[in-house]
Chains A and B, each alone.
Chain A
Amino acid sequence: MTKITYTEKKDTRSGFGAGLAELGRTNPNVVALCADLVGSLKMQEFIKENPERFFQIGIAEANMMGIAAGLTIGGKIPFSGTFANFSTGRVYDQIRQSIAYSEKNVKICASHAGLTLGEDGATHQILEDIGMMKMLPNMVVINPCDYNQTKAATIAIADYHGPVYLRFGRPSVPIFTPADQKFEIGKAIKLIEGTDVTIFATGHLVWEAIEAEAVLAEQGISVEVINIHTIKPLDTEAILASVAKTGCVVTAEEHQMNGGLGDSVAQTLALNHPAPLEMVAVNDSFGESGKPAELMTKYGIDAANIVKAAQRAIARK
Chain B
Amino acid sequence: MSKPTTAELERIASQVRRDIVRMVHAVNSGHPGGSLGCTDFLVALYFHAMNRKDGFDMDGKGEDLFFLSNGHISPVWYSVLARAGYFEVSELATFRKINSRLQGHPATEEGLEGIRIASGSLGQGLSVACGAAQAKKLNGDKNLIYALMGDGELEEGQVWEAAMYAAHCKVDNLIATVDFNGQQIDGPTEEVMSLGNIKAKFEAFGWTVIESNGNDMASIVSSLEEAKKLTGQGKPILNLMTTDMGYGVDFMVGTHKWHGVAPNDEQLADALGQLEETLGDY
Beta-carbon contact of B165 and A63 below 8 Å: yes
> Quick check: is B28 within 8 A (CB to CB) of the other chain?
no
Identify the closest chain A residue to B162 (Cβ): A63
Query: In the bound complex, how far is the Cα of B157 from the Cα of A75, in angstroms?
Result: 28
Identify the closest chain A residue to B128 (Cβ): A70
Which residues 17-71 of A sit at the B interface, judged by CB distance below 8 A?
31, 52-53, 55, 57-58, 60, 62-71
Query: In the bound complex, how far is the Cα of B116 from the Cα of A58, in angstroms?
Result: 25
* Binary contact track B127-141/A, C-beta < 8 Å → 1, others 0: 111111111101101
Identify the closest chain B residue to A62 (Cβ): B158
Beta-carbon contact of A73 and B120 below 8 Å: no
Beta-carbon contact of A53 and B118 below 8 Å: no
In the assembled complex, how far is the CB of residue A91 from the closest CB belonging to chain B, in whole angstroms? 9
A-B contact sample (16 more), CB < 8 A, given A62-B124, A66-B126: A31-B138, A55-B134, A62-B161, A63-B127, A66-B128, A67-B165, A68-B131, A69-B127, A70-B135, A72-B135, A73-B116, A73-B128, A74-B132, A74-B141, A97-B121, A101-B109
In the assembled complex, how far is the CB of residue B187 from the closest CB belonging to chain A, in whole angstroms? 24
Beta-carbon contact of B135 and A74 below 8 Å: yes
Kindly count the residue-residue contacts between A and B in the assembled complex, taking CB atoms under 8 Å apart: 120
Identify the closest chain B residue to A53 (Cβ): B138
Q: Do A101 and B118 form a contact, CB below 8 Å, given A62-B161, A66-B127, A71-B135?
A: yes
Size of interface on B: residues with Cβ below 8 Å to A: 40
Give B contacts to A, CB under 8 Å: 58-61, 65, 67, 107-109, 116-121, 123-136, 138-139, 141, 157-158, 161-162, 164-165, 168-169
Query: In the bound complex, how far is the Cα of B126 from the Cα of A62, in angstroms?
Result: 11
A residues near B126, Cβ cutoff 8 Å: 66
In the assembled complex, how far is the CB of residue B138 from the closest CB belonging to chain A, in whole angstroms? 7
Q: Kindly name the residue among B59, B108, B117 whose own CB sees the greatest number of chain A CB atoms within 10 A.
A: B117
Beta-carbon contact of A98 and B134 below 8 Å: no
B residues near A78, Cβ cutoff 8 Å: 131
A residues near B161, Cβ cutoff 8 Å: 58, 60, 62-63
A residues near B116, Cβ cutoff 8 Å: 73, 102
Give A contacts to B, CB under 8 Å: 31, 52-53, 55, 57-58, 60, 62-76, 78, 93-94, 96-98, 101-104
Query: In the bound complex, how far is the Cα of B165 from the Cα of A84, in angstroms?
Result: 22
B residues near A66, Cβ cutoff 8 Å: 124-128, 130-131, 158, 162
Q: Kindly name the residue among B108, B128, B131 whose own CB sees the greatest number of chain A CB atoms within 10 A.
A: B131
B residues near A98, Cβ cutoff 8 Å: 117-118, 124, 127-128
Beta-carbon contact of A75 and B118 below 8 Å: no
Q: Do A52 and B138 form a contact, CB below 8 Å, given A73-B131, A97-B121?
A: yes
Query: In the bound complex, how far is the Cα of B109 from the Cα of A267, in angstroms?
Result: 27
A-B contact pairs, 12 of them (CB 8 A): A58-B165, A67-B130, A67-B134, A70-B131, A71-B132, A72-B135, A74-B135, A75-B59, A97-B120, A101-B108, A102-B116, A102-B117
In the assembled complex, how far is the CB of residue B94 from the closest CB belonging to chain A, in whole angstroms? 19
Identify the closest chain A residue to B67 (Cβ): A70
Beta-carbon contact of B131 and A69 below 8 Å: yes
Query: In the bound complex, how far is the Cα of B120 from the Cα of A98, in angstroms?
Result: 10
Query: In the bound complex, how far is the Cα of B65 from the Cα of A76, in angstroms?
Result: 16
Q: Do A74 and B158 form a contact, CB below 8 Å, given A31-B138, A63-B127, A98-B118?
A: no
Query: In the bound complex, how far is the Cα of B116 from the Cα of A102, in angstroms?
Result: 8
Identify the closest chain A residue to B131 (Cβ): A70
A residues near B141, Cβ cutoff 8 Å: 74
